[in-house]
Amino acid sequence: MIQVINRALDILEYIAVDPERPKTLSEIADKLELNHGTCANILKTLVGRQYVEQVGTKKGYLLSIKSYALTENENYRKHLIDASKPVMDDLTERLNENFLLAVINGNLRVAIYRTFADQDLQVRTAVEKNIYDSASGRLIVAMFSENELERYTEKYGLPSTDIWPEADTHEKFRSLVEVIKKQGYAIQTSVRKQVVGIAVPVYKDAKVIASLSIYMPEYRFMNADKTDIIKQLVKGASDISKRI
């Protein structure tokens, strides 16, 4: 067996225990009975490859996005899409609007499945967008735990004024996050593009893993039954969660 690989895996496995709590270099090295210099070099490599991230200078280490991505493979996403497709197709047929299933990857909201309405005026959204620049991204961020939210904003920062001006300070951001979490959905109106998006959470084992959203021209949203739209969107997300 190759010793350094074993040590790197031991470190990843130890950090993964109680993943919300950062582990210091000394804690990791002492627990695994490693030389502190050797442990520091392995951690430096894991940080450089983005499998581990360092929280501040003294707080410690946590798993990073690539470690989590190892389990979010194509088969996993295929299962999520397969569970969502009939629900989203039915919603599109009944409401005749566009729907989107999204997950996050770093600071991006990534659309993994979309349905399109049969309307003369169509709106389109990019496959990848800044996470703060979409209802679906804002929804997923709002559903983070306190520790996850703190780590995320420490790494990627707060929304910029041009993307989410109402949330460009820590106080305003946390206030809006609490509103989204409490009401159970996020809504975004793009004044420039005149598009409205509404997103609700999709769960697996009580954890939010994706968002289901509807997006449409603002004028159609203003003339629609907004309560019914949100009700059907919530039911659709619930049906997807049950199918996963």
Which of 69, 84, 116 is where one domain is finished?
69
pLDDT tens track for 98-146: 999 999 888 889 888 999 888 877 777 888 899 999 999 999 999 998 8
Predicted confidence at residue 206, as pLDDT, reads 86
Q: Are residues 63 and 83 part of one domain?
A: no
Q: What is the DSSP letter of 23?
A: B
Residue 179 has pLDDT above 60, yes or no: yes
Q: Are residues 103 and 81 part of one domain?
A: yes
Q: Are residues 21 and 139 part of one domain?
A: no
Q: Are residues 203 and 109 part of one domain?
A: yes
Q: Are residues 182 and 136 part of one domain?
A: yes
Which of 52, 69, 86 is where one domain is finished?
69
Structure tokens at 6: 């074993």
Predicted confidence at residue 119, as pLDDT, reads 80
CA-CA distance, 110 to 133, in Å (whole number)?
12
pTM, rounded to two decimals:
0.71
CA angle 206, 208, 210 (to 5 degrees): 140
CA-CA distance, 185 to 142, in Å (whole number)?
9
**27 φ/ψ sector (left φ>0, alpha ψ -120 to 50, else beta):** alpha
**What is the span of the domain harbouring residue 56?**
3-69
Of the chain, the percentage scoring pLDDT greater than 70 comes to: 93
Residue 147 has pLDDT above 90, yes or no: no
Structure tokens at 119: 């309307």
CATH label of the domain that carries residue 139: 3.30.450.40
CA-CA distance, 123 to 192, in Å (whole number)?
13
Q: Are residues 110 and 20 part of one domain?
A: no
Q: Are residues 84 and 60 part of one domain?
A: no
- Structural domain count, the chain: 2
